[in-house]
């Protein structure tokens, strides 16, 4: 994206969401576009964190399975 360039988008949202955006924009003295842009960035970070969490859980599961297989192999060597 070029510096300072913005894309225009039109959305239809629930009136209560619009009111919340409008109140926040007035209270913080920023545009409604800025409020929505910040919300989308927060959502992006939340999605990235969720993907990382899933990846860590998958890796932990694989590591646990490897550790169990290694322990079983050691038990077999020690027992045999």
Mind listing the pLDDT tens digit for each residue in 19-59? Answer: 999 999 999 999 999 999 999 998 888 877 777 777 766 67
Task: Label residue 7 by pLDDT band (50, 70, 90).
Answer: very high
Contact 21, 32 (CB under 8 A): yes
Structure tokens of 15? Answer: 């009136």
Contact 35, 25 (CB under 8 A): yes
Q: What is the mean pLDDT of residues 6-17?
A: 94
In order of 13, 56, 69, the CA distances from 52 in angstroms are 30, 6, 26
Q: Residue 33: which residues within 8 A CB-CB, separation 6 or more?
A: 6
- Specify the pLDDT at position 67: 73
Which H/E stretch holds residue 5?
none
- Specify the pLDDT at position 2: 60
């Amino acid at each position: 994206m070029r510096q300072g360039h913005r894309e225009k988008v039109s959305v239809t949202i629930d009136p209560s969401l619009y009111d919340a955006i409008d109140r926040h924009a007035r209270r913080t003295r920023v545009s409604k576009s800025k409020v929505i842009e910040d919300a989308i960035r927060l959502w992006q970070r939340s999605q990235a964190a969720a993907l990382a969490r899933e990846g860590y859980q998958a890796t932990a599961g694989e590591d646990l399975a490897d550790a169990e297989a290694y322990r079983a192999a050691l038990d077999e060597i020690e027992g045999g």
